[in-house]
Structure 1
Amino acid sequence: MKEQTNIPTGKVERAGRFVTTGLKVGTNYIKHYTRKLMDPTITKEALHQENAEDIYETLSNLKGSALKVAQMLSMDRGMLPKAYSERFAMSQYSAPPLSGPLVVNTFVKTLGKTPAQLYDKFDMKASNAASIGQVHRAEKNGQQLAVKIQYPGVASSVKSDLRIVKPFAMRIVGMSEVDMDKYFDEIETKLLEETDYDLELRRSQELSARCAHIPNLVFPKYYPEMSSDRIITMDWLNGKHLKEFLETNPSQEIRNRIGQALWDFYQFQVHSLRKVHADPHPGNFLLREDGSVGIFDFGCVKEVPEDFYENYFLLTDKEVLKNEARRKEIYMNLEMIHPSDTEKEITFFSGLFQEMIRLMTHPFTVERFDFGNEAYFNEIYAYMDYLANLKEVRDSKVARGSRHSLYINRTYFGLYSMLSDLKADVITGQQRIRELAK
């Protein structure tokens, strides 16, 4: 893959790249409709492919928040045309890497030494490159290391990038202005945290230690003395990303073991720690032949407020939800319905949420769940499509759902997606969650 020798860091230059891409996309539409006049059977697939290529090329070269949004969108199945989701998924671990001189410059600026002075060996070619940083292999005293290096200008461009990306995100997923405004601060806060490698290092050490007892999880050791605000040095973990791992045709037993480890990892964090690794895309996990999972990258961690936690997980209790008054109270507490809603709106949206909750919380209400059940996920996607096409939902003038739900929902959606790809059969019942809490 071709390396980048520079990254645009100025607001004007970065905005200019988006304008240029917008013109390319417009030209693609003109070409598509011209071809369609000649051949009415032509579908939009080719158009989506061209647009996805042009948009991804721009985002991958800008890096930072712009590319992170693409990464987030790639996880939302059913929300994007296939061409977009497949192309944007590359941002999880295979964006164009930085060139050697930029890497060395980052070391000298933040640690006062070159890689050659810090490590016995350092591979100048990046092993993988994502939205916020890239990873290099190194060696020190015989220990294999992974060195994560943040791209230049990422932290300083978060706010301006989000202002530019906001209209694009609204159009591509159909998100309204009011929804985006409500969640904008949450997104910005999390992205700024992801650029703070000192914070990530502390969280990585804390959460790795507190989750170390969970079976079949492997965490790297971190090295603060070889880390900085833009560099993190940790042990190298062996394993394969999800797509590559599945190509090895692992047994159902191994799939189940990995699925159980992932389920346990997330339930323990949420229910016992009230903070969770909130970036569950496949690029952050390494799956191994023995059924263990290597976990790293605690840049995005969502701390869960107690009142939100209590109300959110009351939604998994069937007995509580049978009480209409109590259910309405929970919906109010979670900002799913509002005091300004009319009785008609309360009835309408409560009905929609009740069905959505029934679908999404089903794994919590049974002792074990087969995430290979395609009918279950098809039902979820069909219901999401149904909601997206409802006029009442599209025309709603209020954002429905607490800002805290944004990353918690994203976390569970990402977890469900990975478990679905694994086709894992997992123990999910409340007893398992209680055991983990002990």
Structure 2
Amino acid sequence: MKEQTNIPTGKVERAGRFITTGLKVGSNYLKHYTRKLMDPSVSKDELHADNAEDIYDTLSHLKGSALKVAQMLSMDKGMLPKAYSDLFAMSQYSAPPLSGPLVVNTFLKTLGKTPTQLYDKFDMTASNAASIGQVHKAFKNGKPLAIKIQYPGVANSVKSDLRIVKPFAVRIVGMSQVDMDKYFDEIETKLLEETDYKLELRRSMELSAQCAHIPNLVFPGYYPELSSDRIITMDWLEGHHLKEFLQRNPSQEARNQIGQALWDFYDFQMHQLKRVHADPHPGNFLMRDDGTVGIFDFGCIKEIPELFYTNYFMLTDKEILKDEATRMQIYTNLEMIHPTDTQKEIDFYSGLFQQMIDLLTLPFTQETFDFGNEAYFQEIYAYMDYLYNLKEIRDSKVARGSRHSLYVNRTYFGLYSILSDLKAEIYTGAGRFKLLQQPPVAV
């Protein structure tokens, strides 16, 4: 893939790129409707493909929070047309990398030395490039290392990028402006945290130590003395990203073992630590044929407030939900139902939510669950599509759901998606979590 020799960092220049892309998208729509006048059978597939290519080309060269939003959207199967999700998924680890001079400049500015002065060997060609940074392989004292380098200007452009990318997100997803406004503050907070590599380094070391007892997980060691506010040095982990791993035709035993390890990883964080690795896209995991999985990139961590946690997981208890008054109170606490709702609105939305909850919490209510059950996921996607097209929801002036649900739901959607691709059959019952409990590790 061709390297980038520069990244636009000024607000005006970055905004100009978005405006140009917006004009291209508008032109694509004009061409589509012109063709449709001539041939009413023309579908939107070509329109989506043209728009996806134009938008991704812009986002992948701007990097940063704009590309991160595209990455987040690609994880939610069924939310985007396939042309978008397939292309946006490339931002997980296959975005255009930075050129060598920009890499060296980052080292000089933040560590005061070049890569060749710090490491015995440094590969100037990036191994992976994503939305906020790229990874290079290096060696020191015979040990292979992974060097994560943040793109220039990423931290300073988060706020302005999100203001610009919001209209694109509204148009692509079809979500109303009020819905996007409610959650963009949460997205902005998390993206600012992800650009703070000193915070990420500390969290990486803490969470790796606290989860080290979970079977079949592998975490890298970290090197603070070779890290800075824009560089993180860690051990190099061997393995394959999900797509390449599946192409190796792994055994069902290995799939199940990796799936169980990932479920245990998230279960332990959610229920004991109350803070969770909230970026479960395939680019953050390396899978091995022996059924172990390497985990890294703790830049996006969601701290879970106690009140939200209690109410959220009450949704997995069918006995609690049988009591109408309790169920309505939980919905209200989670901002799914609002005090200003009419009785008609309460009846309508509570019915929709209950069916969605029954579907999404099914794995929690069973001792074991087969994530290879395609009918289960088809039912989920069909129901999501039904909700997406409901006029009452599309015309709603009220956003439903706590801001905390954004990253918690994203975490479970991402986890479910990976487990589905693995076709893993695993233990999901409450007894599994009890096996993993241990006193938090002091770090």
* Residue 358 (1) aligns with residue 354 (2): no
CA contact (8 A) 1:237 1:286 kept: yes
**Residue of structure 2 in register with 1:9 after alignment:** 9
AA aligned to 1:210 is: Q
Q: How far 1:51 moved relative to its partner?
A: 1.1
Aligned counterpart, 2:104: 104
Range that drifts further, 200-209 or 394-403: 394-403
Q: What is the 5 A alignment of 1:106-255?
A: 106-255=106-255
Shift in Å at residue 315 of structure 1?
A: 0.4
Normalization by structure 1: what TM-score?
0.99
Please tell me whether residue 60 in structure 1 is matched to residue 60 in structure 2: yes
5+ residue gaps in structure 1?
none
Paired residues in the alignment total 438
Counterpart residue number, 1:44: 44
* 2:42 aligned counterpart, secondary structure: coil
CA distance in 1, matches of 2:305, 2:24: 44
Separation in 2, partners of 1:321, 1:249: 42
2:273: which partner in 1?
273
- How far did 1:437 drift? 2.3
| Aligned-residue identity in percent | 82
Amino acid at match of 1:141: N
Secondary structure (helix, strand or coil) at the match of 1:67 reads helix
Report the AA paired with residue 351 of structure 2: G
| Structure 2 counterpart of 1:66, one-letter code | A
Contact 1:336 1:400 in 2 (8 A): yes
Please, what TM-score do these two structures have when normalized by structure 2?
A: 0.98
Q: What per-residue deviation string (whole Å, max 9, x for no partner) do you get for residues 230-272 of structure 1? A: 0000000000000010001111111100000000000000001
Contact 1:204 1:296 in 2 (8 A): yes
Alpha-carbon spacing, 1:215–1:3, altered in 2? closer, same or farther (3 Å): same
Q: Distance in 2 between matches of 1:47 and 1:335?
A: 36
- The one-letter code matched in structure 2 to 1:54 is D
How many angstroms apart in 2 are the aligned matches of 1:113 and 1:359?
54
Check 1:30–1:392 CA distance in 2 against 1; reply closer, same or farther (3 A cut). closer
- The 2-side partners of 1:74 and 1:401 are apart by 21
| Counterpart check, 1:418 vs 2:418 | yes
Structure 2 residues not aligned, in runs of 5+ = 439-443
Cα deviation digits, residues 294-344 of structure 1 (max 9, x gap): 000000000001111011000000100011110001111111101111111
Trace 1:309-328 onto structure 2 (pairs within 5 A): 309-328=309-328
Q: 1:22: how far off? A: 1.0
Whole-Å Cα distance in 1 between the matches of residues 31 and 179 of structure 2? 33
1:143 aligned partner, one-letter code = K
Amino acid at match of 2:324: E
- Aligned-residue offset at 1:41: 3.9
Task: Report deviation, 1:47.
Answer: 1.7
CA offset digits 1:14-66 (Å, max 9, x no partner): 00001111111122223333344444443221221111111100000000000
Q: Which 4+ residue blocks in structure 1 deviate beyond 6 angstroms? A: none
SS in 2 for 1:91: helix
2:319 maps to amino acid: E
Structure 1: which amino acid aligns with 2:277?
Answer: H
> How many angstroms does 1:160 deviate by?
0.1
CA RMSD of aligned residues (A): 0.9
Instruction: Look up the match of 2:441.
Output: none
User: Using the alignment, how far apart are the partners of 1:189 and 1:72 within structure 2?
Assistant: 15
2-structure distance, mates of 1:319, 1:41? 50
TM-fit CA distance, 1:274: 0.3
Residue 347 of structure 1 and its aligned partner are, at CA, apart by 1.0
Secondary structure of the structure 1 residue equivalent to 2:136: strand
Deviation at 1:144, TM superposition (A): 0.1
1:403 equivalent to 2:407? Answer: no
**2:34 corresponds to which residue?**
34
1:326-345 equivalences under 5 Å are 326-345=326-345
Matching residue of 2:377: 377
Amino acid of the structure 1 residue aligned with 2:257: R
- The 1-side partners of 2:243 and 2:431 are apart by 31
Distance in structure 1 (CA, Å) of the matches to 2:257 and 2:326: 38
Distance in 2, matches of 1:174 and 1:55, equals 16
What does the per-residue CA deviation read over 1:371-398, in whole Å, with 9 as the maximum and x for residues that have no partner?
0001100110111111111111112221
**Per-residue Cα deviation, 1:147-206 (whole angstroms, up to 9, x for no partner):** 000000000000000000111111111121211121121110000000000000000000
Alpha-carbon distance in structure 1 between the residues aligned to 2:394 and 2:87: 27
1:271/1:437 contact within 8 Å kept: no
